[in-house]
Structure 1
Amino acid sequence: MADELHEDVHINEDVYIGRQPIYNAKLELVGYELLYRDNSNNNANFNDGDYASSQVIINTFMELGLENIVGSSLAFINLTRGFFNGDQPFPLAKEQVVLEFLEDIDPDQTVLDGLTQLRENGFRIALDDYIYDDQHKVLLDYADIVKVDVAHVSDEQLPELVALYKERGATLLAEKVESYGQFTRCQALGFNYFQGYFFCKPKIIQGKQLPSNRIAVMNLLAEVQNPEVEISTLEEKITNNVTLSFRLLRYINCASFALRREVESVHQAIVLLGLQNIKNWLSLMLMAKGGNDKPHELMTTALLRARMCETLAADQGLVREQAFTVGEAPQFNG
């Protein structure tokens, strides 16, 4: 056990985030698109979209700090299907975050229901690299922002798409703008926001990851599943772990929560977030690199199995929280 605890601690690895600015028609900064990066070479190397999205969230909100990456501007974050249909944990606040719906997500009813819930909760949705066709036209009913890849739309088609999207009430963002001519044309057509190499290439933000311990996260997640858990118990476990304390306070104090004053105590953070958000926060840390010494697929399998057990327990009138822990344990203890 001592060896396992020793091997499970990851110490001060480098963490990275790519960011590319987004401007309005007056060339005033509106926000940044946040991009997964795992090195300082300004390129993305990953095969698992859920992992990449989770890592961007962890690095932004718990390692580097949202305020250090975007200031008071908007943060555009690419999310995979699981974050829209409820399969993946979603501990984000709505005030400063724009959720980018990727072009390869099938807009089936489960996803559309998820989009409805997110918008009812106050989130803004951006359609990334959006292509209007029979399969995807329904998404316009859920979009606040439509991102158009102007490098791959013909000069003849672009005005028609602008008119169509504006008729549906969407804010238009021209992406992959690579020349002054493209910018002025899109500006004349009525685009609201602009992004691309003409303005700025993505910049790498780099920092140090705090030492992390997967076992500590797992144990705390198990505590959260207990319906009779006391806030004082969670407070003690988090307070005794410097990394978890720092990450929790940085997370809740990030600008996206728009709190009137800074939260300085773990107790207050737990009360304000609630157990479900604490559970999502911990699950996300298990999925991302920051608390992971096993293949990401095992983490995903464990969380999906735990949620399946939780759902089955609810259908049978059993205790959901205990079922979650039972479903989770085999993968993490193997």
Structure 2
Amino acid sequence: MFAFIAREPILDKSKSVFAYELIFRDGKGGAYPEHSPEKAQYIEAQFHPLGLDDISGEKSSFINFSSETLISRFPTTLDPASVVVELADNPFTETGLLEACQHIKQLGYRLAIDDPMMLSARHDILPLIDIVKVDVSRTRFETIEKHIPRYLDANVKLVAEQVNTPDHFATCSDLGFDLFQGYFFAQPEARIVRQLPASKMNIVDLMGEVSGDSFDINRISHVIERDAALSYLLLKFINNPAINKRYKITSLKHALNYMGEVEIKKFIALLSLTNLGDEKPLEIIHMSLVRAKFFDLLSQQRGLKANPPIGFLVGLFSLLEGLLDQSMSDIVKQLPLSDALNNALLGKNAEFVQYMTLVKAFESALWMNVIKVAKNLDIDQKQLHTLYNQAIVWGNGVRSVITAHYPQAQVRAN
């Protein structure tokens, strides 16, 4: 069980999540942490630790291990089917590491190596390696082109790291990389000022309704009921066992009586976002879900107004630029959101600026930023980890509901 952790998605060419790389705050250099039984028991009792299934869902987990752990204390309780063992140290100089890797391969684990200069192509370790990760921000494309054929011949998958824009993704895909690590999928593909399509106007209406103080249940019911897909998906959300284990909800009005206005607003906003971004990779929706829950929990911790649930809405809509390929200033002009929500999305609310800094720190394992914001918000940083872990579990649960109803991302040719 792990309490202090970040995860970074690794996507395939179709922009579907292949795996998550896990980065441990309490492990040296982000590697797998080794705790005494007493410390492990303390963490489990005091915080909200997660298992690998909680963190990565049904996806594989890339985990860095120090050479000392691999050679002497490798945790064989980890599932070889879902864990990729990543070498944290240079295998070309560490005595005994090659033999340890041979043993780990015999146990059924896949091996990955960070190799920005692609030196493993000419090393004895190559036959053991399943995946090579290349930081494309540190490697010349000429070097990559030169070495890629050798890896392809060896049936080794290649991961491009630090892929942070759609252009980087397209270039790396053309070079022959199989997998891509970075937040390119959450960035706008082209900033074009355009109106939202007429087919999305029902969604726009719903987004406006949930951001205000008033709540017209009859109007919202009318908007949802005239769209069969919206009606179906809303009931799927609300009847998710992770949310509602007791009653079978059959209508929006029934849900309102059972869950209350604030929770219904959250689910209608979630439904709206899912339908607004249905041409984008599912992972950008997933990130939005985690942000929404994290901001919601933070807002409650800080005693912010609960209705409308502005923390939830700011987190949920924080990646609209990547979903709609427009600037946030152009987006808010087209959406009937409240002034308070617009200001927060435009970075004009100091409270939510702190939240944005914090969630980006968790997404990228920028632990010093977590410490800084925790001090500014007067919240114990370990408590922030607990809230973020809860948000990950909630986001995974909701993602599992929408996956079957969400189309594959469209990979656009350049």
TM-score by length of 2: 0.40
Q: Which has the higher strand share?
A: 1
TM-score by length of 1: 0.49
Higher RCO by CA contacts (8 Å cutoff, separation 6 or greater): 1
Which one has the largest radius of gyration? 2
